Structure 1
Amino acid sequence: MDGLEFKPVTETKVEKNTALIAMSGGVDSSVAAALTLKKGYNCIGCTMRLYENDMVGLDLLGTCCSIEDTKDARSVCDKLGIDYNIYHYEAEFRDKVIEPFVCSYERGETPNPCIRCNKYLKFDSLYKRARELGCDYIVTGHYARIEERDGHFYLLKAKDLNKDQSYVLYDLSEEQLRHTLFPLGEFTKPEVRAIAEENGFVTSHKSESQDICFVPDGDYAGMIHRYRGKDYPKGDFVDKDGNVLGTHDGIINYTIGQRRGLGIPADRRLYVTKLDVENNKVILADNIDLFKREMIIRDFHWITGSEPTNEFRCQAKIRYKHKEQPASVLPLGEKRARVVFDEAQRAITAGQSAVLYDGDIVLGGGIIDCVVD
């Protein structure tokens, strides 16, 4: 794909097109709405209600898309002079995001629920709602870009690499990209806040949410305990030779690479290197044991054009904050692929997504199924 010259979708003249703006009540979606309106689109603002306050046994009033956030989103829409609606997707969010999140932890994985929320809620449920309303585009405040060449649409990294969110959007299809706008892709975060201030938005100085919306305190295990209404059995901490080192508090409390909170006296630092769910054991070893080169991904998704059948080269990213690294990818069929890095990577974790890049272009990706020793 080297050498392609792209035409940004957002440069097209579109006075008669209608856009449905997904508004979380934060500064990013507020500015996305303002920029879309400025380009001449007919805009409709909306907030997705994704959960009830008692859905996970914790007060969620201060989290994303809370009652206060909907008030802020409505305030921005009033200021822009556009319609605003609230759409309810609580059942879909429970079934498509929360339940799989919990199941993934119970399998000894560490999931990324934001990716599933984008795939199944924002760009599926809301996308369908937009089509029913006769809207031509979905608009969100994600930091990413969509560009076009010869009728094909590509997902690219944002201009502001510190805010780039292309990783959590890899599961979108080319058809979804064709009907999606990311107005913030060409802006930096300071520029976005400046636009919000110029427009007098109540969201201009609003802080960003750092945690998963339905786990605002960051206590994933506590959320799972409350959601399931049960405790998880304790088991053994063991070293890689099978020697018992202590007792763990339940598989769901641990993730690959974890060092803190183990409570194991040792003459050196120990890290979680494997979760043996079948035998309810947590394997601890040295930091060097966390470095692996090869993994298998499932639910392999390719965004633009025909999915490759032969081995190809790219860069792969194994978590949101990971810097993508050179790798070879071999499709295995049945939506699986083998990814082999040129150099070993630390703490490759089942349940996270491996996202594949060609420079700034997001090729696709999949969920890390297992690490090959």
Structure 2
Amino acid sequence: MVGLSGGVDSSVAALLLKQAGQAVEGLFMQNWEDDGRTGPCRADADRKDAVAVCGRLALPFHARNFAAEYWDGVFAHFLAEYRAGRTPNPDVLCNREIKFKTFLEEARALGAEKIATGHYARIDRHEGAYRLLRAADAAKDQTYFLHALGQTQLAATLFPLGGLLKTQVRALAREAALPTHAKKDSTGICFIGERDFRAFLAQYLPARPGPMRTPEGREVGEHQGVMYYTLGQRHGLGIGGRAGTGGEPWYVVGKDVAANVLYVAQGGENRWLYARRVRTETPSWVAGRPPAAHFRCTAKTRYRQSDQPCTVTVREDGLEAWFDQPQRAVTPGQSLVLYDGELCLGGAVIAATDAPFGGLGAA
């Protein structure tokens, strides 16, 4: 059962499995309802594209509405995290709770032995265990968002695009005359789409204005609600032209949710943004267990970041990672994802750092 999103990647995943002689069916998941408050939902257009792909490939088509499961398993958590002043990553939770849980269960109920998606990642089996490996296309690799998958999910999953470049995927779609071959890739969070993020969030978390202050306590502006801002953010602060502040841009460096204060400082490389020690919540391990209680690896604290060497200690309540070099704008709510070369080991949600406003204090 291929999870068809109506995009080119899942379309080519279905194409490749069909060409390989597999018995393939397609299932379109609607994970968000247009509630009348957040603007138009793309689901109708995407569903039509998924139907067209199944028509082109002569595949049975199924559709299921998982909006209730998505709200309970992903969106409610998303709002709670923002309300607490953190910056969540809903794609990680969506993969764990919807695409590789609810969708997998539904596919099995329909008689499927395995599921497949258009994710850019690879799976292999080594010494009796399944491994999650980076995709051949480093620019498209999605293991960061898949790190919470375990052995049960990987055993039931295929990633047909893992060994391909995006340019090859587009070419295959064009050669097969798939109706999605030229469709633009979706960007941003699925339920927000191209809408203004702050306006979307304000529908659920009303504005609560308060002071913007420097770390030294000087008030330099007013924010609309600390939950609307993230660490390292530069745009949308509305600070400028103040006497005695120089011409350097301002950046968000900290939040005090209880006091409703947003802390800002000038300069993209200011010391308030940097951390070397990161503490996390309970981790997920692809292998079902950590490689050791204390080990060296590389890590990412956000999706597009290059690999950063670090030392990791497994604690009872989470992980502690010490980076070789200071890391900029490490953000609670995002994920710390660990790698050993091509192998994704797992990861965890970042809880605190030793940045000045990070909550851990000095080492």
Bucket of the pairwise TM-score, normalised by the shorter protein: over 0.9
Which of 293, 302, 310 is the matching residue for 2:285? 302
- TM-score, length basis structure 1: 0.90
Which of 311, 316, 339 is the matching residue for 1:328? 311
Q: Residues 127, 55 of structure 1: CA spacing in aligned structure 2 closer, same or farther, 3 A cutoff? A: farther
Q: Residues 55, 341 of structure 1: CA spacing in aligned structure 2 closer, same or farther, 3 A cutoff? A: farther
Q: Residues 201, 130 of structure 1: CA spacing in aligned structure 2 closer, same or farther, 3 A cutoff? A: same
**Structure 1 runs of 4+ with >6 Å offset:** none
CA contact 1:56–1:227 (8 Å) conserved in 2: no
Deviations 1:208-253 (A, max 9, x none): 111212112342221122135xx23211111112222221111122
What is the alpha-carbon distance in structure 1 between the residues aligned to residue 55 and residue 128 of structure 2? Answer: 36
Which of 232, 242, 251 is the matching residue for 2:207? 232
% identity of equivalent residues: 39
Deviation at 1:55, TM superposition (A): 6.2
- Is 1:271 aligned to 2:251, yes or no? yes
Deviations 1:305-340 (A, max 9, x none): 433561111101011111120001111113x11111
Which of 342, 346, 349 is the matching residue for 1:360? 342
- Is 1:313 aligned to 2:288, yes or no? no
Question: Could you tell me which amino acid in structure 2 is paired with residue 179 of structure 1?
Answer: A
CA contact 2:134–2:342 (8 Å) conserved in 1: yes
SS of equivalent to 2:102: helix
Which of 7, 17, 32 is the matching residue for 1:51? 32
Q: How does 1:333-344 map to 2 (within 5 A)?
A: 333-334=316-317, 336-344=318-326
- Is 1:138 aligned to 2:120, yes or no? no
- Is 1:163 aligned to 2:131, yes or no? no
Bigger shift: residues 360-369 or 210-219: 210-219
Deviations 1:14-47 (A, max 9, x none): xxxxxx1000001100000011122222111010
What is the alpha-carbon distance in structure 2 between the residues aligned to residue 193 and residue 173 of structure 1? Answer: 30
CA contact 1:308–1:331 (8 Å) conserved in 2: no
Deviation at 1:87, TM superposition (A): 0.7
Deviation at 1:203, TM superposition (A): 0.3
Bigger shift: residues 262-271 or 90-99: 262-271
CA contact 2:201–2:228 (8 Å) conserved in 1: no
Bigger shift: residues 51-60 or 93-102: 51-60
CA contact 1:296–1:368 (8 Å) conserved in 2: yes
Question: Could you tell me which amino acid in structure 2 is paired with residue 307 of structure 1?
Answer: P
What is the alpha-carbon distance in structure 2 between the residues aligned to residue 355 and residue 56 of structure 1? Answer: 34
- TM-score, length basis structure 2: 0.92
Deviations 1:167-218 (A, max 9, x none): 1000001121011000000000111011111111110011111121211234
SS of equivalent to 1:42: coil
What is the alpha-carbon distance in structure 1 between the residues aligned to residue 282 and residue 201 of structure 2? Answer: 24
What is the alpha-carbon distance in structure 2 between the residues aligned to residue 165 and residue 218 of structure 1? Answer: 23
Which of 219, 242, 245 is the matching residue for 2:217? 242
What is the alpha-carbon distance in structure 2 between the residues aligned to residue 146 and residue 201 of structure 1? Answer: 26
SS of equivalent to 1:192: helix
- Is 1:23 aligned to 2:4, yes or no? yes
CA contact 1:24–1:70 (8 Å) conserved in 2: yes
CA contact 2:255–2:261 (8 Å) conserved in 1: yes
What is the alpha-carbon distance in structure 1 between the residues aligned to residue 81 and residue 249 of structure 2? Answer: 27
Q: Which runs of 5+ in 1 are unaligned?
A: 1-19
What is the alpha-carbon distance in structure 1 between the residues aligned to residue 55 and residue 348 of structure 2? Answer: 40
Deviation at 1:299, TM superposition (A): 3.0
Deviation at 1:76, TM superposition (A): 1.0
What is the alpha-carbon distance in structure 1 between the residues aligned to residue 105 and residue 308 of structure 2? Answer: 36
What is the alpha-carbon distance in structure 2 between the residues aligned to residue 232 and residue 305 of structure 1? Answer: 42
What is the alpha-carbon distance in structure 2 between the residues aligned to residue 288 and residue 219 of structure 1? Answer: 28
Q: How does 1:1-373 map to 2 (within 5 A)?
A: 20-54=1-35, 56-60=37-41, 63=42, 66-228=43-205, 231-265=206-240, 266-267=245-246, 268-286=248-266, 287-289=269-271, 290-308=273-291, 310-334=293-317, 336-373=318-355
Question: Could you tell me which amino acid in structure 2 is paired with residue 274 of structure 1?
Answer: G
CA contact 1:57–1:227 (8 Å) conserved in 2: no
Bigger shift: residues 80-89 or 308-317: 308-317
CA contact 2:150–2:288 (8 Å) conserved in 1: no
Question: Could you tell me which amino acid in structure 2 is paired with residue 254 of structure 1?
Answer: Y
What is the alpha-carbon distance in structure 2 between the residues aligned to residue 189 and residue 55 of structure 1? Answer: 35
